[in-house]
Structure 1
C-alpha cells in the first residue's frame, strides 16, 4: 500500500474481511494478514459491500498507523 519515510509499509498489505449479519446490521471484521491486527465495524445491511470494506479498511489503517499492529 505504499511506503512511509521509515521504509516500512504505510498500511496493511493483505487484508481479510469477514461479514456476519446480525439482524438489520452487518458486523465486518478487517484483519491484517501479516500482523493479525483486527478491527470491527458495524454497518447497516443497506450499505454496499464496498462501503463496508472501505470503512473497515480505513479503521484498520488508523489502528496500524497508531502502532496497534
Structure 2
C-alpha cells in the first residue's frame, strides 16, 4: 500500500494474523524495515486497524501524518500547550 491514510510516497506492507477473537496487524515501512504492531478485535474494520498502525508507524519514524518531518520540541522544562 502506498500513501493511503497519511504516509504519501512510502510503501507500507501490512501483515494480518488472526488470533482467536482478535487480530494482530504488523505495518512495515519497506524503505527502512521499521515495524510496528497493533492488536484489535477480529470484528474491527481493516481500515480502522490500518489507520491506527499507520499513525503509530509515522510516530516511530518521526513523521507527521502528511509525511513531513516533525519539528523537534525545544529542550527544557514544561510542556507546550
Q: Same fold (TM over 0.5)?
A: yes
Greater fraction of residues in helix = 1
Q: Considering only CA atoms, is the larger Rg found in Structure 1 or Structure 2?
A: 2
Greater fraction of residues in strand = 1
Q: Report the number of matched residues.
A: 58
Secondary structure at 1:63's aligned position in 2? helix
Unaligned runs of 5+ in 1: 2-9
TM-score normalised to structure 2 length: 0.65
Residue 40 in 1 paired to residue 37 in 2?
Answer: yes
> Where does structure 1 differ by over 2 angstroms across 4 or more consecutive aligned residues?
none
TM-score normalised to structure 1 length: 0.76
Q: Among residues 13, 27, 39, which one is paired with 1:30 in the alignment?
A: 27
Unaligned runs of 5+ in 2: 64-81
User: CA-to-partner distance for each residue in 1:22-66, whole Å, 9 max, x for gaps?
Assistant: 011100000000000000000111110100111111100010008
1:11-26 maps to which residues of 2 (within 5 A)?
13-26=10-23
